[in-house]
Amino acid sequence: MSTLFILYYYPYIIYIPFSIKNIFYAKGIRCTAGSKISSNNTPNIDSTAVKRMKKAGGILIGTNNLNEFASGITGINPFYGSSKNPWDISKISGGSSGGSAVALFNKLSLLSNHWHANQFHLSYYTC
């Protein structure tokens, strides 16, 4: 489900905590894109996606782990640690958005965004 769909049909997500993949800029929050090269990158602006979520009333609670530069399918990150499969932490979480999936599964946030195939998506916890 796309962010535009969510925000069109549910334009107000007041006080709902959300998290973002650590490749989206959020003002004042370190954005590493999972890379050691970007370890000191702290943007002074919000990305469009973050701006829209905040404008709708969502509360950004943090960023989620990912493969370096979101280019992988395992969720393994040698620099910041790997996201773990919630059912069995000896296994990988999978996907470059594994950190977002784990955050939702563990109810750390109710909404989480990720980037996939040049589209911005918003996942949400429904159970």
Q: What is the pLDDT of residue 83?
A: 87
Q: What is the pLDDT of residue 117?
A: 43
Tokens of 14: 């007041």
Q: What is the pLDDT of residue 75?
A: 84
Alpha-carbon distance of 1 to 116, in angstroms, equals 12
Q: What is the pLDDT of residue 7?
A: 56
Q: Supply the pTM of this predicted model.
A: 0.78
- Residue 122: how many CA atoms within 13 Å on its side-chain side? 21
Q: How many CB atoms lie within 10 A of CB 74?
A: 14
Q: What is the pLDDT of residue 9?
A: 57
Alpha-carbon distance of 95 to 98, in angstroms, equals 5
Q: Give one word for 99, left, alpha or beta, with left for phi > 0 and alpha for psi -120 to 50.
A: alpha
Q: Are 101 and 109 within 8 A, CB to CB?
A: no
Alpha-carbon distance of 106 to 104, in angstroms, equals 5
Residue pLDDT tens, the chain, 127 long: 455 555 555 566 677 888 888 999 999 999 999 999 999 999 999 988 888 888 888 889 999 999 999 888 888 899 998 888 888 989 888 878 888 888 888 888 877 776 554 445 566 555 4
